[in-house]
Amino acid sequence: MGNQNATSAVPAPRALLSHATRETLSNYVYLLPAAICLGGTVLFPILKAIHMSLYYNVLIKPQEYRFIGLGNYVRMVQDPTFWLTLRNSFTWVFWSVSLQFFFGFLVALILNGQFKGRAIFRTINLLPWIIPGVVVALIWEYIYQPNYGPLNDLLRRAGLMREPVAWLSNLNLVMPAVVFTNIWRGIPFFTIMILAGLQAIPEEIYEAATVDGAGVIQRFWSVTLPMLRPIIVVSTATRIIWTFNYADLIFVMTGGGPANATQITSTYTLMQAYSDLDWGYAASLSVILLVIMLTFTALYLKLTKGVESVAG
Amino acid sequence: MKTRGLGDPLERFLGGPVLWGGLVLATLFAMGPFVWVFLASIKTRTELYAMPIQYLPTHPTFQNYVEAWTSRLTPFSRFFANSLWVSSVTMVATIVISTLAGYALARFRFVGKNTLMLVFLATQMFPAVLLIAPLLSQWHALGLIDTYQALIYSNFSFTVPFTVWMLVGYFESIPRELEESAMIDGSGRFGALLRIIVPLAAPGIAATAIFAFVSSWSELLFATTFTTRTDMRTLSAGLLYMVGQYEIQWGQLGAGVMISTIPVAILFIFLQKHLIRGLTAGALKG
């Protein structure tokens, strides 16, 4: 089949390579484009980032560019803002993901019901998830705007508020405000995942439980939840990693401020690069982000009993 | 579908008033912000800054759209074209690359296959901020700053791992016998892939294609970092630029937001069935 194989980029002389070897080589050719892509845009850049993290590299001080070994990492350990960003990341991830999960689950249960116009309601409820992050950020910046934004106005009309509140510049309110925005954005993710899980549960199991006298609440605890366990684990873990890495929303809405109140580790990395122009320190922060992410992924794979069960 | 347990009063309560109440609340919450921004985008200047807030425009106008679209400082027509081009090319190239790789991983036996799958999984979870600094210096060295190539190549870093991962699952679900008989009939492996596998996996390929398009359309950090010229910005980068540059013009910004949202929303409305099936297939098997 060698001469008919259109992609065989290895027209090796017969004498040198056996048929089997040639086929193996031509098999690798299929992987070549993907390998080049990921080599050039992921693998090489990561090595480069590690390399950059070992240098003093502040763009406005090119004359001071030099190798400093682990200097950036030492600075990180001593940097109170870095530890603050880790705590903020935890708050951001914990509240975002747990509430996205809770409300996403509720919406999935609702949308799994049988009623007229279900398709339209489904589409509407999933829309916040599909739109660009910067769009989400700007929409909510407008909603939170103290004078022209609708949130203060609605709260005042409802008699819940007297003085207008500057949601995104108040130290105590800014984190809840960005988390709330992220919840709005992320609910559909869990809705989609759990809805798919709900629809995969065979109707017979519910019928059997009903025959056994299980009420609606019991059926939820003894059938629905256990059957959804795999998809809950997979979607929550994916979401935790994604939220931890996600910088767009905070970057656009507050830039990590005021006074680092919403500075999570990924936005701190960005600010180091864009505002302080300290690319060495930014690189070392991003390497630590990678290490945290890899540790979590390893734990997660162990939890789901290895890649096989995820890959199917 | 059978209706179960209709005699249970609690279930009837949950399936009736609670279901409808929840549905209305959830839908209002999901739609409210869009409605607000859409209304803002068709308000006149006076209406935008009226005190107290005026929710409905008395003189609806598309002036904000015209201004955003033709503005010389923030030309949304140009941003739109850039986004469309970058996302489309990313999508097509990603599909070609990932179809080949996904097929190889689904069909061939070779050393390190499981490790490779693990790499594709882990790569999906890499933080974008990790890649920004090294990619910037890389594109700079290659003279690719302010080019579409830099944005398209960078987008591969997140589209390719995910689509390969998805397509492996699709290809594995297609019986081997189908392409084997085609190969006996004289097609090469590549011919069998094109004529048998690709048509059968079309829904899956479509879903991953939409994913690649939508995620490229939303991409912000690469687009702001690897472009410096206004005429090279995508919609996401252009919106950010608009905010950073002047005092926020909420009317024009609202128009820009709608311009950025409508294409992906339309795509989603028409193709959500495929997209959702594609995105959840991997997780469901777990």
Same-domain pairing of B74 and B136: yes
Tell me, yes or no, whether B97 and B43 share the same domain. Answer: no
The conformational region for residue A306 under phi > 0 = left, psi -120 to 50 = alpha, else beta, is: left
Same domain, A141 and A43: no
pLDDT tier at A15 (50, 70, 90 boundaries)? Answer: low
Instruction: Please identify among residues 169-228 of chain B the ones whose CB lies closer than 8 Å to any CB of chain A.
Output: 169, 172, 183, 186-191, 214, 217-218, 220-221
CA A58/CA A61 separation, integer angstroms: 5
What is the CA B166 to chain-centroid distance, rounded?
15
Residues on chain B touching A255 (C-beta within 8 angstroms): none
- Other beta carbons within 10 angstroms of residue B6's beta carbon come to 10
Distance from CA of B39 to the nearest CA of A (A): 12
Instruction: With cut-offs at 50, 70 and 90, classify the pLDDT of residue B155.
Output: very high
The answer to whether residue A12 sits within a structural domain is yes
| pLDDT at B7 (0 to 100) | 59
Confidence of residue A56 (pLDDT cuts 50, 70, 90): very high
Mean pLDDT confidence for B37-63: 89
Report the largest interatomic distance among the alpha carbons of chain B, rounded to a whole angstrom. Answer: 77
pLDDT top residue among A80 and A201: A80
Residues B125 and B176 in one domain: yes
Quick check: is B3 in a domain? Answer: no
Question: Is pLDDT at B4 greater than 80 in this prediction?
Answer: no
> Quick check: B112 pLDDT over 50?
yes
pLDDT band at B281 (very low <50, low <70, confident <90, very high): low
Supply the range of the domain harboring residue A18: 2-52
8 A C-beta contact, residue B78 and residue A8: no
| pLDDT confidence bin for B115, thresholds 50/70/90 | confident
From B99, which residue of chain A is nearest by alpha-carbon distance?
A30
Instruction: Clarify whether residues A21 and A157 are in a common domain.
Output: no
Do A90 and A199 share a structural domain? yes
Does A254 or B177 have the greater pLDDT score? A254
The Cα-based distances of A296 to A128, A155, A190 in angstroms read: 27, 40, 20
Is the model's pLDDT at A212 over the cut of 90?
Answer: no
Q: Is A108 on the interface with B (CB under 8 A)?
A: no
ipTM: 0.88
In this prediction, residue A14 has a pLDDT band, given cuts at 50, 70 and 90, of low
- Decide if B191 and A269 are in contact by the 8 Å CB cutoff: no
- What percentage of chain A exceeds 90 in pLDDT? 50
C-alpha separations of B131 from A45, A57, B216 in Å: 6, 16, 16
Q: How far is CA A302 from the centre of its chain?
A: 20
Question: A82: exposed, middle or buried (C-beta count within 10 Å: 0-12, 13-18, 19+)?
Answer: buried
pLDDT at residue A305, rounded to an integer: 62
Q: Is B264 in contact with A114 (Cβ distance < 8 A)?
A: no
The average pLDDT across A50-64 equals: 90
Question: Does residue A259 sit in the same domain as residue A184?
Answer: yes
> Residue B220: is its pLDDT beyond 50?
yes
Mean pLDDT confidence for A263-280? 92
Average pLDDT value for chain A: 87
Convert the pLDDT of each residue in B74-89 to its tens digit: 899 999 999 999 999 9
- Please tell me if residue A248 touches chain B, with a CB cutoff of 8 Å: yes
- Spatial contact of A58 and A279, defined as CB atoms under 8 Å apart: yes
* In the predicted structure, residue A24 carries a pLDDT above the cut 70: yes
> How close A15 comes to chain B (CA, Å)?
22
Of A132, A248, A251, the CB nearest to B260: A132
Claim to verify: residue A112 and residue A228 sit in the same structural domain? yes
Pick from A45, A122, A127: CB nearest B134: A45
Tell me whether A240 touches chain B (CB under 8 Å): no
To the nearest whole angstrom, how far is the Cα of A244 from the nearest Cα of chain B? 8
pLDDT at A309: 44
The beta-strand segments (E) located in chain B are none
Q: What is the structure's pLDDT at B279?
A: 64
Q: For testing the chain B interface, which of A19, A134, A140, A142 should be mutated: the one with the most B CBs within 10 Å?
A: A134
Cβ separation B133–A282 shorter than 8 A: yes
Please enumerate in sequence order all residues whose Cβ is within 8 A of that of B217, keeping only pairs 6 or more positions apart, or say none: A132, B83, B87, B234, B235, B236, B260, B263, B264
Give pLDDT, residue B1. 40
Domain carrying residue B53: 9-61
What does the pLDDT read at residue A2? 40
What pLDDT is stored for residue B285 in this prediction? Answer: 46
Percent of chain B, pLDDT > 70?
Answer: 93
Amino acid identity at B166: M
CA distances from B228 to A127, A282, B74, B234 (A): 31, 20, 13, 11
Counted domains in chain A = 2
Of B27, B218, B240, the CB nearest to A121: B27
Q: What is the CATH number of the domain that holds A77?
A: 1.10.3720.10
**A258 and A227 fall within a common domain:** yes
Per-residue pLDDT of A286-296, as tens digits, reads 999 999 988 88
